[in-house]
Each structure stands twice: as C-alpha cells, then as structure tokens.
C-alpha cells in the first residue's frame, strides 16, 4: 500500500540521489534481516541511489554495525553508517567539549575514546546518556549529583522503545525520565528527529536535502526527521508504526509502504 501526499514528491523521487535508511524495524528486526532487504539494496544501487544507514540506537558503534550488517550479508563501511552516537560526537566537538561522563555501553565508550574524548566523572564538561544496556544505579546516581551541581547533560536520542522480534524493549527515552524527574532538568537531545542528526551528515555528503529521502518505521523520529529537514519521508510498516497510527498522528509521511522493497515500484 502506497500513500503519496502530492505529485511533487513523486517528481522528487525521480531525482533521488541518497536515501537514509533506519535499520532496526526497517531493514532487519533484531538480528534477523528481512528476506527482501538484499534485493531492495541491490535495486537502489542499480538506480545509482546511495544508501546510508541512519540509526538512533547508540548501544553500538559504527564499527559494530559494520560487523552486524556483514553477518547479514550486507557490505557496508564506516562511511555508510551514522548513529546518534556519531551525531553526538559531532555536536560535542562543535561545542568544544573534551571531558564527559558517559552512560553508555562498552561499544559506545570505545567510539567516544576513539574520537578523542576523556571519560570521567570528575568535573566533566558534559554528561552524555546513550542507550545504555549496562545502565546501573551507580551511573544514574552519579549523573544525578553532577546535574544538580550544574553540569549540562545531553541524550543521544529520544526513542521510548526499541523494536525486537518479540515486541519492544525499553529505550533511552524511557531511561532518561528517571534523571528528568529527579533533577527537573531536561537534556539536550541529539538524534532523530533533531537537526543535529541530519545537518552534519548532509554537509559531510555534500548534498542538498532536496535530493535525499529518509525511510523508517517510526513516526516521531524517522518521519519527523524528514519533515523537519525537508527530506522525502517514507514510512515502512515492518516495525513500530501501524496504518492506524498514521490515521491519528499529526506527523504524516509523504509515502507509506508495507516493506522497504516496495519503494522500487516508483522507479520501474
């Protein structure tokens, strides 16, 4: 099933150069690739459309995602992947932040150290909260005291839930509510749907938003990212959002398809 908001979107698709692809719920679910995804990616390549994997999940570094995709039969390089962790690194560098207290997985810690940040809970410049599957009371309590002493904090992304093959798991948006409730201080949120996620990437790729689309399974992150950034927004119904959600949401995609490969019908 396909939904087009207007004919101008169809014309823009004909000039498409790059598509940002969400990963979990869009090209795979958990550790299982959708059976049609490889053919979809081959179809994009045949049409000279570059794809870049764009994910809010900051529990893995770009390196880790390269390895995960390889196990699924998808060849990708670091340049083909941009996570909310990467966007946060770019944001912190832009604001001259050097020392952070990081709440994140070992994979995310490795990415920040590799990027040149010092990780410490002793007078950090910023607190950074990622999708931390190793989150402990000690980490939360340390962050609480730092925030109460005036240290600013940011979160890599706002997702409340993370899709899994059996349903959903708690994501960062839910985790960070503990600190918001305890301190009364809202974090700076970096990932989708915010401009800090796509702006640096568009600049890095040297392309105008007019020639870019974004595909994802979530209305309030993926689709809103496209609408905020002037990208063609494509909702795929293999993850979180349903047709019923679209009917009641203020965030409406330009295109709605059942699965990623259905997009190729526009180019046939």
Angle of helix 195-205 relative to helix 84-94, nearest 10 degrees, comes to 80
Residues of the chain above pLDDT 70, percent: 98
The predicted-structure confidence for 198-244, as pLDDT tens digits, reads as follows: 999 999 999 999 999 999 999 999 999 999 999 999 999 999 899 99
1/265: higher pLDDT: 265
The SS3 assignment for 73 reads: coil
Q: Can you tell me the distance from the alpha carbon of 169 to that of 111, in angstroms, rounded to the nearest whole number?
A: 23
Q: Which class is 86-189 in CATH?
A: alpha beta
Phi-psi region of 230 (alpha: psi -120 to 50; beta: other; left: phi over 0): left
Q: What is the CATH number of domain 7-56+195-267?
A: 3.40.50.1000
* Closest to 127 (Cα-Cα) out of 182, 55, 193, 198: 182
pLDDT band, residue 71 (cuts 50/70/90): very high
C-beta separation of 219 from 244 below 8 A: no
Angle of helix 62-71 relative to helix 106-114, nearest 10 degrees, comes to 120
In the chain, ranges of CATH 3.40.50.1000 domains = 7-56+195-267, 86-189
Average pLDDT, the chain: 93
The predicted-structure confidence for 88-109, as pLDDT tens digits, reads as follows: 999 999 999 999 999 999 999 9
Tell me the mean pLDDT in the region 169-181: 96
The SS3 assignment for 115 reads: coil
Q: What is the DSSP letter of 254?
A: S
pLDDT band, residue 171 (cuts 50/70/90): very high
């Amino acid at each position: 099933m396909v939904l087009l908001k207007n004919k101008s979107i169809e014309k823009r698709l004909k000039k498409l150069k790059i598509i940002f692809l969400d990963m979990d719920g869009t090209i795979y679910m958990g550790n299982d690739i959708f059976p049609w995804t490889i053919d979809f990616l081959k179809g994009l390549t045949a049409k000279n459309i570059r794809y870049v994997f764009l994910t809010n999940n900051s529990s893995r570094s770009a390196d880790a995602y390269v390895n995960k995709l390889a196990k699924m039969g998808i060849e990708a390089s670091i340049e083909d992947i941009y996570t909310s962790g990467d966007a946060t690194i770019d944001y912190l560098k832009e604001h001259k932040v050097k020392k952070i207290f990081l709440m994140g997985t070992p994979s995310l810690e490795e990415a920040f150290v590799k990027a040149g940040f010092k990780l410490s809970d002793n007078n950090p410049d910023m607190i950074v909260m990622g999708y931390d599957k190793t989150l402990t009371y000690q980490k939360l309590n340390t962050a609480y005291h730092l925030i109460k002493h005036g240290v600013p904090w940011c979160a890599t992304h706002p997702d409340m839930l993370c899709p899994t093959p059996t349903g959903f798991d708690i994501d960062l948006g839910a985790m960070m509510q503990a600190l918001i409730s305890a301190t009364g201080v809202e974090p700076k949120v970096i990932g989708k749907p915010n401009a800090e996620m796509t702006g640096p990437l568009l600049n890095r790729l040297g392309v105008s938003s007019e020639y870019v689309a974004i595909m994802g399974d979530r209305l309030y992150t993926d689709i809103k990212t496209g609408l905020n950034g002037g990208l063609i927004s494509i909702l795929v119904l293999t993850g979180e959002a349903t047709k019923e959600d679209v009917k009641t949401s203020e965030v409406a995609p330009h295109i709605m398809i059942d699965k990623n490969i259905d997009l190729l019908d526009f180019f046939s």
